[in-house]
Structure 1
Amino acid sequence: MKVAIIMGSDSDWPRLEGAAKVLKSFGVECEVIVASAHRTPDVVHEFAAGAAERGVKVIIAAAGAAAHLPGVIASFTTLPVIGVPIAATPLAGFDALLSIVQMPSGIPVATMAVDGAKNAAIFAVQILAVGNENLAAKLKEYRKQMAEEVAAKADKVTKIWNEEAAKA
């Protein structure tokens, strides 16, 4: 099982590194590439057209501004593509969000929140888990751990509040 992460610029990596770490935590292999839909279209085409042959099952594609990269990737493959809009302009990612979410009929791209790379990785794992019981079990454990973390935080806040209320 492999997920590819492609971004239009190396400046996007700090926002996408968390996705690679999430994938690694689930034991999912990750391929990472920087290629621009506008500046290196041949590299993008080669990457997308050959992804399935390299064992890639899901592609996470991130881009800012006009954000054409996820859609271009989707046009060259039948693999699931998850788009991550990047806040790279004064529009704070809204331009990228609209560019990714407004794909033409027949070429879908799942769209995450602006800078939502971690959710893109989790969604990729969910897609892979459909056919993998081990990964599905890891997702259930992940969700259980999240719930336990929230409960611990709730207990902490309740304790702080009760201590403050007792002082009043």
Structure 2
Amino acid sequence: MYPEDKKAKEISYSSALSKMQFICSRQEKCCSDIRKKLDNWNLSYDDKDKIIQSLIDDKFLDERRYTGFYVRDKYKFNKWGRIKISHHLKQKQIPEHIIMEALDSISEDNYEENLEDILTSKMRSTREEDLYKLKAKLYRFAQSRGFESNLILRYIEKLVHKD
């Protein structure tokens, strides 16, 4: 089935609102997530905006709260760096100042410890004799996790010259 073959569901305003309230009560969502969901239903732009505003007014939606949870989860469980977290939040149309506030809540010591842990783990699992290639692999790995170049380079040097 192709996306253009999908028919948008017909749903009333009140039914859409109650479904969105249910979804938001079970899991933190941001406005763009809800808007995407509402786009699947044949609702007017005004109705979509009213639903989102109602969810915000009734505290079902809160961009700051969502961003805080997102940052903590991606940092703690996925071991992502600030760059990757920030990029994903920007894709969800979260305002820059809210992203920065949430990222500032990450302790610098824990952040660097996290980077050192993932680099140490990767170094143990990498079978590379050539020091230059090992550093390149570690760098690419940490960069794909969203860590800053200056930190990556500092910790790679620290780990490689530890022995």
TM-score (normalizing by structure 1):
0.27
Structure (1 or 2) with the greater helix fraction: 2
